[in-house]
Amino acid sequence: MALSLQNGSRERNGTVYRRFDVKVKFVLTMDDLLVDDKTIDQLILDWESDMDQGEILELSHKWITSKNFLTQRMVGLMRVGESSLTIEPLEEEQQEHHGQY
C-alpha cells in the first residue's frame, strides 16, 4: 500500500513529518543605500509571513552566506552599506506531528 503525501508533508525513513507553519515577522534595516542613483540614509521594511521552519532556516542561511543577497533581489538597489535582518516568530499555527503511517 502506497501513501501519498499531502502538500506540506515530508517523508523520511517511513515517517511522515507534517509541515510546521509559523507566523513570523521580518524586519529588514538597511543603511547608506543607493537606489536608482539616489542616496538613502536608512530604510526599514517590516512584514509578516507564514513559513515553515525549513524555509526560515534556508532564508537565514542565504542571508548569512550570500554577499549580495539584497542587491540580487531588489530592483533598483545598487548598494547597501550596513544591513540587518531580524526574524521573530509571532505564533504557532499548527502543532508539529510526527507519526508512523
Question: Looking at residue 11, what is its pLDDT?
Answer: 54
Tell me how far CA of residue 94 lies from CA of 12, 15, 24, 29, in angstroms. 20, 18, 13, 30
Cell representation of residue 5 = 503525501
Question: Looking at residue 16, what is its pLDDT?
Answer: 55
Question: What residues contact residue 8 under an 8 Å CB cut-off, 6+ apart?
Answer: 18, 19, 21, 52
Q: What sections of 1-101 are H helices per DSSP? A: 53-65
Digit-coded pLDDT (tens) for 71-101: 888 899 999 999 999 999 886 544 444 444 4
Digit-coded pLDDT (tens) for 34-64: 999 999 999 999 999 998 888 989 988 988 8
Locate the domains of the chain by residue range. 17-93
Residue at grid coordinates 525513513: 13
